[in-house]
Each structure stands twice: as C-alpha cells, then as structure tokens.
Amino acid sequence: MKDSKQVVYFKNIDILRFAAVFLVLFAHAYEGWCGWFGKPGFMTIGENHTDFSNFGSYLNTAFTNGGIGVDIFFLISGFLITYLLLTEKENTGKISIVKFYLRRILRIWPAYFLLIALTPLCVHLANGKTPDYLPNVLFYNNFHAISVKIWQYPYAHLWSICVEEHFYLFWPFVVAFIHRKNLKTAFILLIAMSFLFRTYLFVIHADYWQIYLNTFSRIDVLVIGGLYALYYKENGFQAKLSKSTRHILYSLFIVVYVLDPVYTFDSFFDIVVKKYFYISILGLGMIHFIFNEERIFNLPFQKSLNYLGKISYGIYLFSNVLIPIIVIRLMYKWGSSNMYLYFFLNILLSIVIATIVYELLEKQVLKWKKKFEVIHSKRN
C-alpha cells in the first residue's frame, strides 16, 4: 500500500478554469446585452440594426459559442475527480465514499447556497419574479427547466452545477467497485449510453431543453474527463505534438468555432456527434497545456490568472446574476447604453464579488475540506 499522503498537483489547471469561466461570462453577458439593448451596432447592417453583417455574424457565433466553457469545466472536473479517486484506491486499497461526499459538499455548497440565500435581494434589484426554490435546493434545476421551459432568474445557469452533482452521486461507486482492468470498458459504455440517449432524443424530435439540459445528455463529457484520468494513470501522457501541429489543430478549431455554432439541434450530426469534435480538441489542448512544457506561448500575469482560476466558481455563480442588476440599477439609471461600460462592469463586479466570497467564505470552508482529504490536492 502506497503513501496516501502524496500531493496531487497539476500546474496551470486553474488558468484553464479561468479561461473556461471567462468564455461563459462573456457569452452570458453578450446574450444579456442583445436581450436588453439589441444587437451591437458595429455588428449589424442597416439603420434598424436588425441584421448581422458577415463580420458580425462570425462574431455572434464566436461570442455565443462561449457556452462551451461549461464543457471545459466538465472535462477538468471529470479528470481531477477521477484522478484523485483512482489515486486514493491505488494508495489505500479503497475509496472513502463518505469523505468524498463531504469534500464535494464543502467545495460546492457554501457559495451555492449563499446565492440561494441572496435570491430575494437579487430578485428585488433585478425587478424579477420569485423563482422556484426547491429545484435548486434539491439540485434538479435542469430537469425543472426542461419541464417548465423557462430560464428562471437568478438560477438559469445552475443547471450545470446540478449535472455535476448528479455525476458525483454515482461516480465514486463506479471507481470504487469496478475492477481497475474493467474501468475503461465501463467508462466507454457510459459515454455510449449518453450517445444513445441523444440519439433517442433525435428520433423522438425532443426539444432544445431536453437535448441541452438533460443530465444523461451532458454527462458524457465528465466521463471523458475521467477516461483521460484513467489513461494518464495507466500510461502517462506523451504530450509531444510539435508546435506546428498544434498550431494547425488549434487554428482549425478556431476557424470552425467562429463559423459554426457549437450548439445546434437541426440534425443527427448536430445533436449526437458534433460535440465530440470540440471536446477532442479541447481535451488535447487541456493535456498539452498541463503536461507539455514546450508552450506555444507564455501567458503573462500567471499568478493573477491562477488566482482568477481559484475564484472561477464564484465568478460563474454571480456573473450571470449581475446582468439585469447592472442594466436596471446602473445603465438605465445613468442613461447609458455603452456596451463597453456594461461589459467592464460585469467583469469587474463578478471578480470583486467572487473574491469576497472566496476569501471570506470558500477559503475558510476549504480548511475544513482538507480534514477529509485522503489524497491532498495542491493548487497554485
């Protein structure tokens, strides 16, 4: 039995978290702007600004595709959670299910339930309606949204947290009780089940809500992250694609990302297959960013970016909530329709609030989380 006190450390993974949350923040803020103020003038043609120019159409696709940041979070989460569970099982001969759940509760619940506690204030500031609390308290927001077909403020974006919580319900049992040599097969079967579920949704002509929000439709990306972790445990990653090869792959990704909406639901390919192109490139990028010392480029302000990655969960929770508050309480009050001011305020206030929540709440609770760690996870 190996030493269970080893420290797991993946350099730069917090920077990936920040990149993911910034994509989502920008996508939400952009969609919020279009909802409140209409399409940005510099992206449109004609006096009424109702139609995108060719350039504006490409920008619109790129901005709205930022929702793929959620899939980046899923990949990272599936990879880290699975790696830690595999390491715990390898080093101690078992997995403490109770300690796993306590760690997840202490990581996810404090900031999450703080947002729920602040809901009356948010609704008041945004001139909103009282939402349904129970689906969010009990983590079935995504299935509730599927049934009512409404994005309820301030909980619209919490569907992804619920998908992760559903993943946590069964994943430690999969890793704990399936023999190591059979795990790869189990993971692939779970991915195939999600694939087949989306195929079923296509056959029955399911609506956008089912395809986009259903746990069974989205959970395969978390499992793919787990598959990366299993492969890394067994073989290590030979992240040695040349810079030129990576430039070609990433350039191809960027071109497709700008030209093609990630989330479309018009065909079998769109609903069932297309996501795997994006996930494969994102997974390859994640591996090379974490494990390949030969960087394509060196990021400035790495300490700051690492810190922003640490508070990315808070940024995700509060940035979307701030959009109507900024518009109603600041932009309208000031008589301003300056898009750059709007984005600046959303980014700034999201970071400020996430920092306060992290320093005063999350960081303190995470000290308790360490008491239940079997394998210690170090962050930058």
Residue-wise pLDDT for 100-128, tens only, equals: 999 999 999 999 999 999 999 999 999 99
Inside any domain, residue 250: yes
User: In this structure, what are the phi and psi dihedrals at residue 338, rounded to the nearest 5 degrees?
Assistant: -85, 110
Inside any domain, residue 65: yes
- With a CB cutoff of 8 Å and minimum separation 6, the contacts of 27 are 63, 64, 65, 66, 67, 69
Q: 161: exposed, middle or buried (C-beta count within 10 Å: 0-12, 13-18, 19+)? A: buried
Pair 334, 71: CB distance under 8 Å: no
Inside any domain, residue 241: yes
- With a CB cutoff of 8 Å and minimum separation 6, the contacts of 20 are 69, 70, 72, 73, 76, 312
> In the numeric block, which tokens belong to residue 332?
């309208």
Tell me the mean pLDDT per 10 residues along the chain, length 380: 57 88 96 95 85 93 95 95 94 94 96 98 96 97 96 96 98 96 97 97 95 97 96 76 79 89 92 92 82 64 89 97 98 96 98 98 90 73
Inside any domain, residue 2: no
Q: Give the number of other Cβ atoms within 10 Å of residue 260's Cβ.
A: 14
The three-state secondary structure class of 78 is: helix
Inside any domain, residue 1: no
Looking up tokens 């980014």 gives 347
| Cα–Cα distance measured from residue 29 to residue 265, given in angstroms and rounded to the nearest whole number | 23
Pair 171, 81: CB distance under 8 Å: yes
Q: Which amino acid is at 124?
A: H
pLDDT at 1: 44
Let me know the angle formed at the C-alpha of 315 by 80 and 228, rounded to the nearest 5 degrees: 20
Q: Specify the length of the chain in residues.
A: 380
| Torsion, CA 119, CA 124, CA 128, CA 134, rounded to 10 | 20
pTM > 0.75: yes
Nearest alpha carbon to residue 59 among 39, 82, 85:
39
Pair 14, 328: CB distance under 8 Å: no
| Strand bridging mode 376-378 / 7-9 | parallel
Report the number of distinct structural domains present in the chain: 1
Inside any domain, residue 209: yes
Inside any domain, residue 105: yes
pLDDT at 289: 77
Burial 292-322 (b: 16+ CB within 10 A, else e): beeeeeeeeeeeebbbbbbbbbbbbbbbbbb
pLDDT at 371: 86
User: In this structure, what are the phi and psi dihedrals at residue 52, rounded to the nearest 5 degrees?
Assistant: -75, 140
| Cα–Cα distance measured from residue 380 to residue 377, given in angstroms and rounded to the nearest whole number | 10
pLDDT at 3: 47
- With a CB cutoff of 8 Å and minimum separation 6, the contacts of 226 are 78, 79, 81, 82, 171, 175, 187
Nearest alpha carbon to residue 376 among 91, 161, 28:
91
> In the numeric block, which tokens belong to residue 189?
């079967």
Inside any domain, residue 232: yes
Pair 184, 41: CB distance under 8 Å: no
| Torsion, CA 338, CA 340, CA 341, CA 347, rounded to 10 | 150
Structural domain range at position 352? 7-378
Q: 354: exposed, middle or buried (C-beta count within 10 Å: 0-12, 13-18, 19+)? A: buried
Q: Which amino acid is at 86?
A: L
* DSSP string for 270-283: IIIITHHHHHHHHH
Q: Give the number of other Cβ atoms within 10 Å of residue 40's Cβ.
A: 17
| Cα–Cα distance measured from residue 114 to residue 161, given in angstroms and rounded to the nearest whole number | 14
- 227 alpha-carbon distance from chain centroid: 18
| Cα–Cα distance measured from residue 299 to residue 15, given in angstroms and rounded to the nearest whole number | 10
